[in-house]
Amino acid sequence: MNDTFEAITRKIRSFNRFYTRIIGEVNQSVLNSPFSLAEARVLYEIKHTENPTASEINVELELDPGYLSRIIRRFEHDDLLTKERSALDGRAYLLALTPRGEHVLSALEKASDQRTSELVTS
């Protein structure tokens, strides 16, 4: 792909994230994966937010705090993320993707890029 096409693909994906938040479709399965759209967005936000906490992810995605907590707990159990207590706020935990979490997100992003490219070219 050329740079212009990749830039368009990134802008469309950014719009998709914005739009799904607006219309509230964050509980659907995404790209024939075992992850809901909300779960994929949690992975994305952890990767693309500097030193994210659950509270920051929750503000961005507007998820029920209990639902987000269950997602984080499952991701930690499945070795997709780690939690480390914040040195600045002992009540908060910094979230980070593990190598396995990075791999899963990379596969989801690649599938999303492919799907978006297909939409643009059809």
The whole-number pLDDT of residue 27 equals 47
Q: CA-CA distance, 84 to 86, in Å (whole number)?
A: 6
Residue pLDDT, tens place only, 61-79: 999 999 999 999 999 999 9
Range of the domain at 22: 3-121
The whole-number pLDDT of residue 28 equals 57
Asked whether the predicted pLDDT for residue 86 surpasses 80, the reply is: yes
Question: CATH number of the domain that 61 lies in?
Answer: 1.10.10.10
3 burial via Cβ count (<10 Å: 0-12, 13-18, 19+)? exposed
pTM for the model: 0.75
State how far Cα 78 lies from the chain centre. Answer: 16
Q: Which residue has the tokens 């993707």?
A: 97
Amino acid found at 34: P
Domain count, the chain: 1
The whole-number pLDDT of residue 60 equals 92
